[in-house]
Chain A
Amino acid sequence: SQTIHQWPATLVQPVGSPLSLECTVEGTSNPNLYWYRQAAGRGLQLLFYSVGIGQISSEVPQNLSASRPQDRQFILSSKKLLLSDSGFYLCAWSSGQGITEAFFGQGTRLTVV
C-alpha cells in the first residue's frame, strides 16, 4: 500500500532562518506531488506541484521554493523565513495515471518568530 511521510510535525523558526520541509511517498511510482499551505485554519492554497523529477510548477510568487531530487521526494525550502510564512503546510500525492484523489501527509505546523 502507498504511504506518505511528512516531517517535521511542528517547527518554530526565527525570522531570517532557512527552512527545509521534506515529504516522501512509498509504494507508488511517478506520483504527482503537491505542497499546500493552510493559513489561519482555513482554505488550502496550492504552492507547488510536480509531475516528475526536476519538474516544479509554482502557483504563487513567494519566499518559498520546492525541489524534487528523486521520484518520490518533495522538498519545500526557504533561504530566509518571513513572519508571513507561518502556517500549516501539507504535502500530498496523487497518481500520475489519470485523475484520482490526492492523499495527504500529516502536515507541518510552522511558526516563524
Chain B
Amino acid sequence: AQTVTQSQPEMSVQEAETVTLSCTYDTSESDYYLFWYKQPPSRQMILVIRQEAYKQQNATENRFSVNFQKAAKSFSLKISDSQLGDAAMYFCAAYSGYSTLTFGKGTMLLVSP
C-alpha cells in the first residue's frame, strides 16, 4: 500500500511571492509517478505537474516546479510569482503499481492581493 501525506491544511501567500507546498509519500514500488493536482472552486481536478521517479531532474512547468527528494520520499511544489488564479486546493498524488492513484488530504492555498 502507498500513502501520501500533506501536513499543511492551509497556506497563504501574497501576489507575486513564492510559496512551497509540502508532500511526503511512502511506497514499496520502484517505478512510480508523483503528481500535483489543483482543484479550483469549480472542483474540476487539473493536473499541475508530474514527476517520474526514475528521473533525477526536478520537473518544471512555467511558474510551477517541484523539489523531488527520492531518498527522503519528499515531493514539494513551489509556485513562483503567485497569482490570484492560483488560489485553490492542491493535492499531491502518487501512482505506482498497476492501477491505483493515491491522494493526500490537500492543502488550501490562499492568495492575497
Contacts and interface: CB of A to CB of B under 8 A. Distances in A.
Contacts of B75: none
Contact of B104 (A43, A49, A99): A43
Contact of B44 (A36, A44, A59, A104): A104
B58 to A, nearest CB: 17
A43 B106 contact: yes
Q: What is the size category of the interface that chain A forms with chain B?
A: 20 to 34
Contacts of A49: 99-100
Interface of A is mostly: strand
A46 B100 contact: yes
B43 A88 contact: yes
Interface of B: 31-33, 35, 43-45, 47, 50, 89, 91, 93, 95-96, 98-106
Interface in A51-96: 51, 57, 59, 88, 90, 92, 94
B96 A99 contact: yes
A3 interface: no
A99 B30 CA distance: 12
A106 B101 contact: no
A39 to B, nearest CB: 11
Given A99-B32, A101-B33, A107-B44, A42 B96 contact: no
Contacts of A46: 100-103
Counting chain B CB atoms within 10 Å of each CB, which of A41, A51, A99 scores highest? Answer: A99
Interface in A34-50: 34, 36, 38, 41-44, 46, 49
